[in-house]
A = this chain, B = another copy of it.
Amino acid sequence: MTLGAIEAGGTKFVCATGNEQGDVFDRVSIPTTTPAETMAAVDDYFTTHPVDAIGIGSFGPIGVNPDTPKYGYITTTPKPGWGDFNFLGHLQAKFDMPLYWTTDVNEAAYGEAEMGIAKDVPNSIYMTIGTGVGAGVIANNRIFNGRTHTELGHMRINRLPGDDFKSACPYHDICLEGLAAGPAVGQRTGKAGKDVAADDPVWAIVADYIAQACVNLTVSFAPDKIILNGGVMKQKQLFPLIHEKFQSYLNGYEEVPPLAEYIVPAGLGDNSGVVGGLLLAKLALTEA
């Protein structure tokens, strides 16, 4: 059996083939231009690389609730051409096989939960802190959705005294994404995140806000692990700072796993999404 994965990002799509163990046989990267152009390349890929099922994780927001008319769509993205695009419908028309449709972060979360750093625990949260903040929640080994997918990047956090940085989120004066994602780091320092020194004071602010978010995730979802990934988390010095602040904010209210095993980097690195896609394809086949 050969499985397929699509990791559909705002900059590039990755299409891959592999097996039920999450081994990747082949992969290709396709620039995200117009739906017509990008999807033609996706269709080509899976025509020349036949598979039995495809797991799809897409940038969004997307419709993930099968009871709503926009299920399978990318909904309100500002990305030209992609708003109101029936992504799943397009694939269903071309490929008569089980398809699993979810968000890019849920796909990565599932990869980490099944084969990555959270493979031994049933409950985990995967949060990527990059251009935006996205998160996928795995509860009892399954992707968690409510009425729609989570939007955890827009959780409210508390500004540190004296932090009067204007939020980079157009909606919220106070939210994790607006105060601590890549663009906020860029605007706070005047440099790209990767060029900011490891001991720059901005990282203490970023770590504090991420730690606050981790406290909220803890009291909300009670995960076994919180996995932090994305461009900003390439700054590995953030982990100990986050652990320290998390400890002080939670303040012993409830027992959590040892922090070095609780708030952790991804185990599959940049492969979380593709591996997740393959395993979601397997899930779609099993449940078909």
Contact = CB atoms under 8 A, between A and B. Distances in A.
B223 A151 contact: no
Interface of A: 61, 121, 123, 139-140, 144-159, 171-172, 174, 212, 215-224, 249-254
A226 to B, nearest CB: 11
B254 A146 contact: no
Protomer copies: 2
B150 A222 contact: yes
Query: Which 8 pairs from chain A and chain B are nearest by CB?
Result: A146-B222, A151-B219, A171-B253, A123-B146, A147-B222, A148-B222, A171-B251, A154-B219
A252 B61 CA distance: 14
B212 A156 contact: yes
Contacts of A172: 249, 251, 253
B222 A220 contact: no
A222 B149 contact: yes
Given A144-B144, A147-B223, 4 more contacts: A150-B222, A154-B254, A155-B216, A156-B158
B174 A158 contact: yes
